[in-house]
Chains A and B, each alone.
Chain A
Amino acid sequence: MPQLQNPEKIDLRIWEHPILSFERGRPVHIFLEDEKLEAYLGETVAAALYASGIKVYSKSIKCGRPRGFFCGIGKCSSCLMRADGIPHTRICIEPVKDKMRLTYEENRGEIPASNVPVFEEKKISVDLVVVGGGPAGLSAAVTAANLGVDVLVVDENPKIGGQLIKQTHKFFGSKSTYAGIRGIDIAKTLLNEMQKVDTKYACETSVIGYYNGKKHLLAAVQDNRRLLEIRTDGIVVATGARENVLLFPNNDLPGIYCAGGIQTIMNVYGIRPGNDALVIGAGNVGMIVGYQLVQSGVNVKMIVEAAPKIGGYLVHASKLRRLGVPILTRHTIKRAEGKNHVEKVTIIELDENGVQIEGTEQEVDVDLVCVAVGLTPSSELLFQAGCKQVYMSELGGQVALHNEDMETTMDGIYLAGDVSGIEEANTAIMEGRIAGAKVASHYGKNKDEAVRIRKESLASLKVLRSSPFSEKVLRGKEKISELWRKTV
């Protein structure tokens, strides 16, 4: 792969990685205000800027505080810039183009007098739309398509596969599904299966709303220039989740990112996110990202966990400990400091009631903080479509009421994966299969096979959820089933 000339310039790209190989397109140039920067086709704007050491993209409107990317997957709006004249561009999911011009937005940004994008319109009719191309969505699509349903998958990210494409570790679970295979390879397998049944997918396509109609009607924007009007009999909403934030002074400093954002920059685009890191949260996500940071050459100084015990699997914790990474339970972050970027954090011990113990503060010099303190289902589309919702803390927040077939209270609208309650990829895959099979059974195409897949996947889910780590989720799912029986 050709490396750009300009040795004096900052390049945070990772050119050698123990597990991943990064496919970069042709080198191009982009302009930030008047500065000429290098980028590679296939990178997002945020990735390219970050690789050049530029980590501040916008300012908060009231206080003018610097903003970096936070989520890295188009959900948090912290990275809005003007790209080729278009205001409010989410640069974390906007691919670079040669000679692209980027400018910082003043205040709230202005609609350009000229150069307004002209939308093409396109009408699509399909049996089933799957919104979100992660493990749940892809499984739903593959299952339904295999049973003869005409499926379209839409995903707002430049690359399909959801969070799978960021996972360097081998997955747990049953060998009869995807256990022992790295997340990146599971994504490839699912995509291959989808291509085998000739199922279409559209990346960079954001569903912007649900509308009334004879059939279900979704509006979506594709590639920022095409308005899609999608009429469909069935919708599987597999939009995943967004990450939780943690309250502490200066938690908005650039350099403080959520786990998925770091994984995107680091494992999808191959950019070293920092030199010295602190991870908040010793659940599986925090520990996996901690390990992945070490794989990318980052010095992980410690993981702090507010609970008295490590939340994730011991085997993940052990992998980090034998690398020399300390895991401090009953510790949290008290504050972060830095001028335009995080430079230092203060951590503090917690007593048995979770109250900070004065005098136990320690200062840690870091330029990267990974926040891995849980997720909240991305349920917006379901609610907007009119699905009845409930608050279920065991499942991570507001979720659409659903039954074990992943049906919502709206006819023909299903859900699968984290949007139905925060879990992990294996269970998301099973829920996707159930939803896909259920859709297929409605259309009367190979009904027996649909029934068999449904039964098999329900049994797998039950087994996957029998671990003590699933107790909370299971409780949430049982409560939901109970409410479903009362309501429907």
Chain B
Amino acid sequence: MKNYEETGVLTSDQFKLPTKARFERGPVAVIECVQRIPCDPCAYVCRFGAIEKRSIIDPPEIEYDKCTGCGECVSECPGLAIFIVNSNYKEDEATITMEYEFLPTPKKGEVYQALDREGKAVGEARIVAAKMKGKQTFKVTIAVKKPFAMTVRNIGKRLR
């Protein structure tokens, strides 16, 4: 049994990460989907052919050099398992783009608790972009301190 099957929490060593050099080049999709489940929208929607599914069951494989970090796959993934990480946002800050399905709707400039994969607060997250795609899908981009780029995966309470 894999650890995540018991905890529901994936750790960064359990999936393929972009290289350091790729992270430094700017926005890139990080796909946190490792199980064999029947699903293919991410591969279907990628215009750059960066995401491949050998079969509908196999987990997606991403060619990070082809990925432009456009974020189309983020709002397409039914599992909300894709995040765009931009380690090159500012000298000391990285951004994470994710889908957000809760109220109140975050607005640009607001500051929230930054939460890790277990929902624990690990500092602050500033909303740098928030937009609707279609009627119901809401995408939010948050800025966090750079070392937390691969730790923060949600926002909690609004701080200011």
A residues lining the B interface (CB < 8 Å): 16-19, 168-175, 179-180, 182, 282, 294-295, 297, 308-310, 313-325, 327, 329, 426, 463-464, 466-469
Across the interface, do A175 and B41 meet the contact criterion of CB distance under 8 Å?
Answer: yes
Given pairs A169-B78, A179-B78, 16 additional interface contacts (CB within 8 A): A18-B101, A172-B39, A173-B38, A175-B45, A180-B44, A309-B1, A310-B6, A315-B80, A318-B9, A318-B117, A322-B154, A323-B115, A323-B154, A463-B57, A466-B57, A467-B37
Partner of B103 from A17, A170, A310, A466 at Cβ < 8 Å: A17
CA distance A389 to B96 in the complex (A): 53
A318 to B80 Cα, complex, angstroms: 9
Q: Does B19 contact A (CB under 8 A)?
A: no
Kindly provide the distance from the CB of A308 to the nearest chain B CB, expressed in whole angstroms.
7
Cα distance A294–B102 in the bound complex, in angstroms: 8
Q: Please give me the residue from chain A that is nearest to B117 by CB atom.
A: A322
Task: Known contacts A315-B81, A320-B8; decide if A18 and B138 are in contact (CB<8 Å).
Answer: yes
Query: Do A319 and B103 have beta carbons less than 8 Å apart?
Result: no
Q: Which residues 23-56 of B sit at the A interface, judged by CB distance below 8 A?
A: 32-41, 44-45, 55-56
Cα separation A170 to B39 with both chains bound (whole Å): 11
15 examples of A-B residue contacts, CB within 8 angstroms: A18-B136, A173-B38, A175-B44, A180-B78, A295-B101, A308-B1, A313-B37, A314-B8, A314-B34, A315-B78, A318-B117, A322-B116, A322-B153, A463-B56, A466-B55
Which single member of B10, B78, B101, B118 contacts A324 (CB below 8 Å)?
Answer: B118
Residues in A whose Cβ lies below 8 Å from that of B81: 315, 318
Which residues of B does A touch, CB under 8 Å? 1, 4-10, 32-41, 44-45, 55-57, 76-81, 101-103, 105, 115-120, 136, 138, 153-154, 156
Residues of A within 8 A of B103 (CB): 16-18, 297
- Beta-carbon nearest neighbor of B156 in chain A: A324
Most chain-B Cβ atoms within 10 A of its Cβ — which of A169, A294, A314, A317?
A: A314
Given contacts A16-B103, A318-B10, contact A463 B55 (CB under 8 A): yes
Q: How far is the CB of B2 from chain A (nearest CB, A)?
A: 8
In the bound assembly, the distance between CA atoms of A320 and B118 in angstroms comes to: 8
Known: A18-B101, A182-B136. A310 touches B8 (CB 8 A): yes
Interchain pairs with CB closer than 8 A, number: 133
Q: By the criterion CB–CB under 8 Å, are A426 and B35 in contact?
A: no
Residues of B within 8 A of A327 (CB): 7-8
Docked Cα-Cα span, A151 to B115, in Å, equals: 51
Residue of B nearest to A182 (CB): B136
Q: Are A323 and B6 in contact (CB-based, < 8 A)?
A: no
Given contacts A309-B5, A313-B37, A467-B38, contact A319 B78 (CB under 8 A): no
In the bound assembly, the distance between CA atoms of A145 and B79 in angstroms comes to 33
**B contact residues around A325 at 8 Å (CB):** 119
For the complex, what is the distance from the CA of A180 to the CA of B99, rounded to whole Å?
Answer: 13
Contact partner, A321, options B9, B37, B77, B156, Cβ 8 Å: B9
Report chain A residues within 8 Å CB of B55: 463, 466
Report the minimal beta-carbon distance from B135 to chain A, rounded to whole angstroms: 9
* A284 to B, closest residue via Cβ: B37
The answer to whether B8 touches A317 (Cβ under 8 A) is yes
Partner of A316, one of B45, B79, B117: B79
Contact check, B1 vs A467: say whether CB atoms are below 8 A apart: no
**Chain B nearest CB, measured from A184 CB (Å):** 9
For B119, the closest partner residue in chain A by CB is A324
A319-B80 CB under 8 A given contacts A308-B6, A314-B8, A467-B57: yes
CA distance A325 to B156 in the complex (A): 12
Cβ-defined contact, B36 with A468, below 8 A: yes
Nearest CB to that of A16 among chain B residues? B103
Would you call A321 and B78 a contact (CB within 8 A)?
no
A314 near B4 with CB under 8 A, answer: yes
Other-chain contact of B117, A175, A295, A321, A464 (Cβ < 8 Å): A321
Q: Which of B36, B41, B57, B136 is in CB contact (< 8 Å) with A180?
A: B41
Name the one of B1, B33, B40, B154 contacting A175, with C-beta atoms under 8 angstroms: B40
Asked if A467 and B44 sit within 8 Å, CB to CB, the answer is no
Contacts of B5 in A (CB 8 A): 309-310, 314
